[in-house]
Structure 1
Amino acid sequence: MQVEQLKPFIEFAINWYWIPLLLLYAGIISAILIENRNPTKTVAWILVIVFLPVVGMLLYYFFGQKFVKVKKIKRLNKQQAIRLEKKWKELDPIIESFIQDIHEDIGDLSKVFRLMKKERLSSPTLNNDVQLLLNGEEKFKYLLSDLEEAKHSIHMEYYIFELDKIGGQVLNILEQKANEGIKVRLIVDSFGSPDLVKYMRRKKKTKIDFHPFLPVTFTSLANSNYRNHRKVCVIDGRVGYVGGINISDKYINSDDSPPKMYWRDTSLRVRGLAINLLQISFWNSWNQTDGESFYLEDGYLQALQDNSEVKGLAGVGFVSSDPASIGPFNMEALLIAIGEASTKIQLCTPYYIPSEELERALIIAASSGVQVELMVPSTSDSFFVQHASFSFLKPLLERGVRVYLYNKGFLHAKTAVIDDKLSFVGTVNLDIRSFYINYEIAAVVSDHTFAKQLSQQFEIDKQDADLLTIRAWKSRPRWKRAADSVCRLMAPLL
């Protein structure tokens, strides 16, 4: 075909290209509206698509859609719930007695445990031994020892598992234990641990039962928005770990290592009947991989009467959530605790991009006379998150919330202490992504001693932090405040 013959088509494309583009935009915006998601998030995505042509549509395709994957997760969640419902009904009287005992100890803060029971998230258990572990240097000392002593099974689920010094040590122990006949199951997030996923795929001979969670391929890039952010380990169904510390050298602050950013983080080591709940959480995650399912009754759970070796007094439950949860359970549990607080609330988070409900709850608590303290890092690992977070601090400062900027290093701990009675330690950031999009888990602990330890650590961390005032916030350079406002527009998408 001659160039002259193509001219009419070229002219038509130049003059009328906007028609198919307009139809494409209208279709995408209609799809967003039909999803009936949070209005703030809906408006945010529409603004991104309108003001960032093409780029906005690509961002929505890869990170904004509620894909079929979520429907599959909902179906799996329902199947899991059906399998466990009979056991729940058998245990209901025992669970109720546990909640009554916890209520006698901490009053209406026990409503958090009632949420767990009603939503079939977790059964609160009593007489658990809980141990606060600060930073990687404490956690890994205990973790390596517990892994070495494993006799029956090792279950690990981590967002980040690096092939560095500590990662190599853990992996070597897992290989050794698997070769001894101990069942080793390992889940890592494929987005957070790409190097380990590649390594395990190349490794021909291994007895570790390994599966990446939500594998990321070219055809599944759109599902990469949903990540397994949990850090869980259960050994022999008798000792477990949960918290913010991944398997990576960067979590270890060592005098022997080269100078690097100080990493402040928190994890929890637990023994007692609560391990059963952590085991069930892992079982739920495992059943969403390609791994062969296993029966919990095959030595993976402690019998109710088999708790003689544990001397602790803590009441422990776990709140887990995922993209297909019928509610943002981790946020709801925290909202209940904040609403029942009478004297003091202390929160640590690396990322503060709150939902409207959380922001309002903190403001109401502070306005009603509760001492509300929030600690965030003075410098984040993300420009957008840093400035978006700062935009949300102003309303808190204006209403009496005390905000501390941790400046010794990077604060990665995700903790809360309410009235020195109830504690949260987990993987949950105080941001929309953790509440609604990621797979997350938090341990909820009813124990005065543990709560006071966590509160004392908060006071220690305050010595390495600056108190932010509303005057200091307003005196920041104009460009920073402008960046705050712009990044805030992206907050529902971060």
Structure 2
Amino acid sequence: MENLLTILEFIKTWYWIPLTLVNTTAFITILIENGKPEKTIAWLMVIVFLPIIGVVLYYFFGQKFKKENYFKKLDHRYKTLLDTRWNDLAPFISKEIELTQTYDDHLNDAFEYLANTKVSIPTSNNIVELLSNGEEKFAVLLNDLKNAKHHIHLEYYIFDEDEIGSQILNILVEKAKNGVEIRLIIDDFGSGALAKRKKYYESLGIQFEIFLPVRFSSLANSNYRNHRKIIIIDGLIGYVGGINISDKYINPNKYNVFWRDTSIRIFGDATKVLQAQFWLHWQSIALKTYSLNAHYLPKLSNNFLKKLPVTFALSSPGDTPPYIMEAMILSISTAQKSIQLCTPYFIPTESFKTALLIAISKGVEVSLMIPAKSDSAVVQAASLSFLKPFVERGMNVFLYKKGFIHAKTICIDGLLSYVGTTNLDSRSFLINFELSALVLDPLFAKQLSEQFYKDTLESNLFTTEFWNSKKWYYKAFASICRLLAPLL
């Protein structure tokens, strides 16, 4: 007992020495990584204000572990695999870019940017259907899955084994029994429960892969998530957007929260771009790979398809530059009339913030919609802290109050639309694997704009008076959250 008291007294007297060494080492490590200044400052603040916990959080979640270098090597491998094919497609790409110019000579710049950087091939032989909320998406999707003939590929952040998830899994199992190839990629962080059932579903014929499994030995890697939501059916039909596979996305639901979200169904050549992206991810994580042959890239008759340009902005932790963010900034900078943005999390990078402020100042009508109540108090407070300067400059900010708005969309000049998985925050722009479709079509943009207007009827305007009326301690909390924004 006396020895224990002596040890405790020693720790009480000299604890500051090892703590100082650990903090100093963490500080030096953060500084020599030469990361973005705002992210560096945020981590330094965490360590200062949370002396022990902050260091643990940094070493598990903040450090540039080997996985980031792995992603960069993977991206290089992707580009090497695609380079030869890209050169073969050069005449096709040039022809497709020319077609986008007939729609618009400034909003097609993002199509040219994504083609020139070899991120995505532009396509025009497409039909695109807007799907608002889970009840619309799943009604159509279940029918498409039942009619699949050759293969079904799914890549999802959240895939719950609840009522809708079980319906889909049952269809997949039945299809696998009938000889349809089923490949499923899920994110281990978002779909942890289903990941534990991997062997069971493999025994039923589903080829099943888990993206970046989260283990105690690899907690640092849990910061990098596959946030994409992709389905490809027979190489003809594709789904992208913000709607995961879960009952909470269907209204009404047992969670008693109205869920506003957006996805799209694509029929046409753009599905081939999704197919290639799925194949590249599968090649990187699966032991059993497959050849991307004509069965997965079928030729389409364009006799009944309209010339509707579609391409995709993609991002991953290894991307330099951050292609989705740059494509969006490019589109915002070329806007002439209006910009409508919808996101559940608004924590803009400085470059994105500047692009929006310039657009407002040059006379573009800019409107933003975010939830009145978020699923994260920290993210909500950080989001609100960014809004006052935008409102003072002239932005219309709507706080959606009917439920939780999870849609990730942008509509520019009633012509160019973004629909995908990308939130307007640093995590989506710089850390996660994300995907957003770009659709250049006035009719589709009109539908998206009309949905935005309907949502404004369920919203309150954010005003400077509203923000000034907030209690001082909430604004202080929001300011702290804002400083941590690069880590959220």
Task: Specify if TM > 0.5.
Answer: yes
Distance 1:411 1:68, change over 3 A: same
Deviates more, 1:204-213 or 1:386-395: 204-213
Give the distance between the partners of 2:425 and 2:22, measured in 1 at CA. 31
Give the distance between the partners of 1:483 and 1:51, measured in 2 at CA. 14
Q: Helix, strand or coil for the counterpart of 1:247?
A: coil
The aligned counterpart of 1:105 is: 103
CA contact (8 A) 1:185 1:208 kept: yes
Q: TM-score, normalised by structure 1?
A: 0.95
The aligned counterpart of 1:122 is: 120
Measure how far apart 1:21 and its partner are: 2.5
CA contact (8 A) 2:315 2:435 kept: yes
Q: Helix, strand or coil for the counterpart of 1:109?
A: coil
Structure 1 residue identity aligned to 2:110: V
1:234-255 Cα distance to aligned partner (Å, 9 max, x none)? 000000000000000111113x
Q: Helix, strand or coil for the counterpart of 1:80?
A: helix
Q: Please say if 1:300 is aligned against 2:296.
A: yes
1:53-452 matched pairs, under 5 angstroms: 53-203=51-201, 205-254=203-252, 257-258=253-254, 260-303=256-299, 306-308=300-302, 310-452=304-446
The aligned counterpart of 1:32 is: 30
Q: Please say if 1:470 is aligned against 2:481.
A: no
Measure how far apart 1:204 and its partner are: 6.5
Give the distance between the partners of 1:379 and 1:397, measured in 2 at CA. 19
Q: Helix, strand or coil for the counterpart of 2:105?
A: helix
Distance 1:291 1:452, change over 3 A: farther
CA contact (8 A) 1:128 1:310 kept: no
Distance 1:18 1:316, change over 3 A: same
Deviates more, 1:122-131 or 1:199-208: 199-208
Measure how far apart 1:11 and its partner are: 6.6
CA contact (8 A) 1:272 1:307 kept: no
1:380-439 Cα distance to aligned partner (Å, 9 max, x none)? 000100100000111111110110000010000000000011000000000111001111
Q: Helix, strand or coil for the counterpart of 1:107?
A: coil
CA contact (8 A) 1:345 1:419 kept: yes
Measure how far apart 1:479 and its partner are: 2.7
Q: Please say if 1:491 is aligned against 2:485.
A: yes
* Structure 1 unaligned residues grouped into runs of 5+: none
1:125-174 Cα distance to aligned partner (Å, 9 max, x none)? 01310000000011001111110011111000000001111000000000
Q: Helix, strand or coil for the counterpart of 2:477?
A: helix
Deviates more, 1:68-77 or 1:11-20: 11-20
Give the distance between the partners of 1:198 and 1:486, measured in 2 at CA. 37
Measure how far apart 1:454 and its partner are: 0.5
Identity of aligned residues (%): 50
CA contact (8 A) 1:417 1:424 kept: yes
1:302-335 Cα distance to aligned partner (Å, 9 max, x none)? 33xx333652331000111011111211111100
Q: Helix, strand or coil for the counterpart of 2:196?
A: helix
Structure 2 residue identity aligned to 1:419: D
* Structure 2 unaligned residues grouped into runs of 5+: none
Distance 1:195 1:10, change over 3 A: closer
Q: Give RMSD over aligned pairs.
A: 1.7
1:87-118 Cα distance to aligned partner (Å, 9 max, x none)? 10011121112112102211111110111112
Distance 1:4 1:171, change over 3 A: closer
The aligned counterpart of 1:42 is: 40
Q: Helix, strand or coil for the counterpart of 2:89?
A: helix
Deviates more, 1:406-415 or 1:92-101: 92-101
CA contact (8 A) 1:348 1:375 kept: yes
1:248-274 Cα distance to aligned partner (Å, 9 max, x none)? 0111113xx547110000001001111
Measure how far apart 1:200 and its partner are: 2.4
Q: TM-score, normalised by structure 2?
A: 0.97
